Every structure is written in C-alpha cells, then in structure tokens.
Amino acid sequence: MASSTITRFPPSPTGPLHIGNVRTALFNYLFARKMGGEIILRFEDTDRKRSKREYEDHAYESLEWLGLTFDHIYRQSERTLIYRKYLEKMIEEGTAYVSKEADLEFEDAGGEDQDEESERERRDEVIRLKNPNKKVVFEDLVRGEIEVDTTELGDFVIAKSLEEPLYHFAVVTDDFEMGITHVIRGEDGIYNTPRQILIQEAIGAPRPIYCHIPFVFGPDKKKFSKRHGAISVLDYRDEGILPEALLNYLALLGWNPGTPQEIFTPEELIAAFDLGKVQKAGAVFDPEKLRWINQEHIKRMDEATFKKHAYAVLASRIAANPHWNEQRFDKLVPELKNRITVFKDLDLMWEGGEFDYLFALPSYDAKLLVPTPKDGKPPTLKKVTKHLHFVSDLLEKLEEASFTKEGVKEALAAYAEKEGRGNVLWPLRVALSGRERSPDPYTLCDILGKTEVLRRLQEALTLLKADTPKKED
RNA sequence: GGCCUUAUCGUCUAGCCUGGUCUAGGACGCAUCCCUUUCACGGAUGAAACCCGGGUUCAAAUCCCGGUAAGGUCACCA
C-alpha cells in the first residue's frame, strides 16, 4: 500500500462544482486508475463561514453522475483532533509558535470577493510557522524545476488556534496522513507549493510529486466562471450531455493522447492517460466541440441504451399525450440516433411538433404537397393528385408483410424513377408527415403501417380536391 | 508593482527537447460541392495559424536574446 499511487481531489464546498474543478478531478482520477492506485475525495471545509453542506451535496451529485468514484472520502472539519496533534508537536519542537499579534489594522487582501467577507474576525493570538527562510526547489511534472525563495513569506500563519487550522497546514497534514503520492492541481497552486513544502519538512512528511495543470478558460480567455454560462456540470447533464462525453471532452482540454484518437470511453481514457502529455498553456472551453463529442458518443451507443435515454427525456411529454403510440415511436428511434447531438434536442423536437405525425393525422396546407424543383416549374395540383393516386394504388397492392422500408422502396421504385423521384416522393412524404422536413417517405411508411399510410394518402387526396380550382389547366 | 509562467488556424491541438522530411498535420466550427428534389446522416473539397523584432546557422515553428500580450502569485480564503 505504501508504494502504490494515491491522488486526491480536494474541493472546498463554497460553491457548485464547475468545469474546471471537474477537469482537475478527472486528471487525478485517470492517473490513479491508470496506476492501479487510489483516489481520495476530501472536502476542504476549514473555512466554516463559507462552506455549505448544499455545495457538498452538489459535488456528490455531480461526481456520481460523471461516474467518478473515490476510494475514501474525508471532511476536514471532522479531523481537527489530528491537526491539533501535529500543531502541538510542531510547537513543542519549535517549528511553529504561538504568536501574540500586535493590534495592527486589517490588511485587506482580496477586494474582489463581493459580500459576506466583510466581517472577518481577527485573532490576537495565532500559530505561525517558524520559517527557515530558504530557497525551496521542487520538480513539477509539467513545468519542470521551480525555485522559490520563501524568505518573503515570513513566519506565515498556519492556524488560528489549535482547533482551527488554515488551508496550507490542513492540506499538508492530510496529504501526509492519507499517503498522497501525487498532487495534481490547478496551476494557481504553484505558489502554494513552497510554503506547503516548508510545512511538510517541519512535520517530517515526505514530499509528493507535484503536477500543476493549466486552467480552463471561458471564450474570452478569462478563467472559467459563472458569467460564461453553463458552469456547473449538472447544467450539462440537464442539457442532455452524456457523462462519458463530458469526461472525454474535458480530458482533451489540456491533455492529448499523442494519437489522432478523439473519442474515448472512460476505460480508454484511463488506458491512454499520461501526465507527461499535459499542456502548459490554458485552454478555452468550447461548447461546440463538446456537443460534437457528445454526438459521437450517441452514435456509438447501442439502440437499447439510446432508447432508454430517449424515453427518460421525453417521459413527461409522453405521459401527457393521449395519442402516444409506442410502437411507432420505437420504429423512429434508430432514425433519431443520428439526428440529435444532445438529448435535449428530443425535447425541442417534440416541442416543435416534429413528432406530431406519429400520433395523429397531420394537418397541413394542401400546397405543401407540391414539390418545388430546383430547376423548372412545379407540377400542377392535378399532376400531384395523379401521383398520389398511383402511389396509393401501388401501396394498396403491397402485402402487409412487405410493407417495410425496403418493401415500399421497391414497390415505388419504377414509378418514381419514371415520373421523377421528387414528383412522386415529395407529395407522399408530406402526406404522411404533414411537414416540410421529416424522415424519408420509406421510413415513414414503415413507421405508420399500411392502414394508416393509405388513410393519410386518402386524406391528402381529399385536401387536394378541395384546393384544386375547377378550371386549372 | 516584485517574483514567476505561457504564447502554432476563431477554438482544441500535432510538430519544438534531438534544427532540414513543415509549401506547418489532425479535429471542432465555417464555406462549397456530392449523395438525397425535404431534413438528418454520410462523402469530398476549401478558406484559416508558427505573437513581434533581432541573432546563431547553409537551413529556425523548432536554438539564443529582446519586446509585446495574456495569466498566476504575493491573506488570520481555499
């Protein structure tokens, strides 16, 4: 166990888990799994004022949806006894000391953080590290060697009291206690590293391997934040992005496999992942490419799984539809697979009436039955009527058993060829769907079945008759 | 501001370490065409980048120097 790889993902529950966090979690996850090691989830909630349980729940929900699993879960607020032990030891050994603070005015550091922070209490007694004031040199897996003079850090504060450790101290003792071998975190952690190393050395902890990965930016090249729209991973779930697609996309942000492969299952990611191929520069998050990757994952999905997803998205709409026809919809399902990029599209299609023809005789304007050829003039209503009649007769003669996509196609082939496919097929398609855009007429025939097809053809003919001016040509 | 980092098509990136094979490759997106008289899918083609300036060299996207831009970091936050 001692030599095995252990990584960690330490979110602080002070806001919803966002894309950047998840990418960091993913890299830790992939690396740990790749090495056959473990990954720890650790909630860094030492800031009691800002930490909220709801954000913790949000994190669980997000991580679970993504399928990112953890071997151990900790919460720093439950570990104060451990921190206290180390603090006492340090004070005893003289590597830290209790410091009486002069009553200086509050140095206001972060002005950006809007609200809440205004009434931060200031202690007149804190615990400081006895800084050896030296140069710290460490190796970063993506940046190489980094050297920092820690003198300017001074004797920085590591805890407000024995029961109230601060971030750096809690991180170091936890990483030590938990046997963390690799610290993979965002590049803003680079300058946390020297002071953490100082604490490590003070408590006699071994130094883990560091890997600072670049940021994820919004379209304006600014660090990803709320103003960039969908920032919470759950928003992507709600849009109908597949978790494996999001993972796939995120893995490719700042990392590349060194091969042209772009679509990965989670298992393939684990197999291919390599910290050595992590980018140095930040990457802009591109929702378009995410959607494309999602589409690719959908295409690769087996039909049963796709169907399950589709039904889940449409559940409430189906329940509310008195004419719901499962048989027909199921026949449309394979067609749907390469028509959507995210599952939300299904909902949008339904809303746009694109499924209406499945349930009821469509109502449409008779003129829609007339094809508009790219060159030449459109056929007369009379002609359209003639074609529809003929098609109807042809299909009438077709046996029930042959009333399939291929069967219909075959039955109509000769006639369509002779009269011009558009002239024959367009009116048929409109008669069946009532829409300007729809799947092809053969698929429609297959979905609706002989009886319904013939019925709709009759309906179209009736419409046409009513619309035809008596004295047309 | 001090210290540090980064910089290839609009975006994600390959190439850089070990200069030539780079008239810089792939992908998303975009455009055009084909397939199909619809839509979607699919196929083909195209437009599109080495941040700028010096230097080293027979030869630089690749090495060196300077500049510029962007970012990080300097808490009793994490």
Please name the residue that has the structure tokens 């993972």.
A247
Mean pLDDT of chain A: 91
Alpha-carbon gap, residue A130 to A144, rounded angstroms: 28
> Are the beta carbons of A390 and A355 closer than 8 angstroms?
no
Per-residue confidence at A89, pLDDT binned at 50, 70, 90?
very high
Q: Could you give the ipTM of this predicted complex?
A: 0.95
* pLDDT tens for each residue of A401-454: 999 999 999 999 999 999 989 999 999 999 999 999 999 999 999 999 999 999
Name residues 176-215 of chain A with a Cβ under 7 Å from nucleic strand B.
187-192, 215
CA A311 to C1' B40, in angstroms, rounded, equals: 20
The reply to whether A60 Cβ lies less than 7 angstroms from strand B is no
Side chain identity at residue A431, one-letter code: A
> Are the beta carbons of A453 and A392 closer than 8 angstroms?
no
Write the DSSP string, A115-184.
SGGGG----SEEEEE-----EEEEEETTTEEEEEEGGGG-S-EEEEETTEE-HHHHHHHHHHHTT--EEE
The reply to whether A223 Cβ lies less than 7 angstroms from strand B is yes
Per-residue pLDDT averaged across A199-219, rounded? 95
Per-residue pLDDT averaged across A361-389, rounded? 89
For chain A, give the percent of residues with pLDDT over 90.
83
Q: Quick one: pLDDT at residue A461?
A: 94
Q: DSSP 3-state assignment of A38?
A: strand
Catalytic one of A49, A222, A226, A289: A226
* pLDDT tens for each residue of A92-146: 999 999 998 876 554 444 433 433 444 467 888 999 999 999 999 999 999 999 9
Name residues 284-343 of chain A with a Cβ under 7 Å from nucleic strand B.
284, 286, 288-289, 291-292, 299, 338-339
* pLDDT tens for each residue of A26-62: 999 999 999 999 999 999 999 888 999 999 999 999 9
* pLDDT tens for each residue of A328-358: 999 999 999 989 999 999 999 999 999 999 9
For residue A155, give the nearest of A135, A136, A132, A129 by alpha carbon. A129
Query: For residue A1, is pLDDT > 60?
Result: no
Q: DSSP 3-state assignment of A21?
A: helix
Name residues 108-167 of chain A with a Cβ under 7 Å from nucleic strand B.
109-110, 113, 120-124, 126, 143, 146, 148, 152, 156-157, 160, 166-167
Cα separations in angstroms, A138 against A145, A147, A151, A196, A370: 6, 7, 16, 11, 75
Per-residue pLDDT averaged across A300-315, rounded? 96
For chain A, give the percent of residues with pLDDT over 70.
93
Q: Which residues contact A5 (CB under 8 A, 6 or more apart)?
A: A31, A32, A35, A36, A37, A38, A181, A182
pTM tops 0.95, yes or no: no
Alpha-carbon gap, residue A327 to A399, rounded angstroms: 20
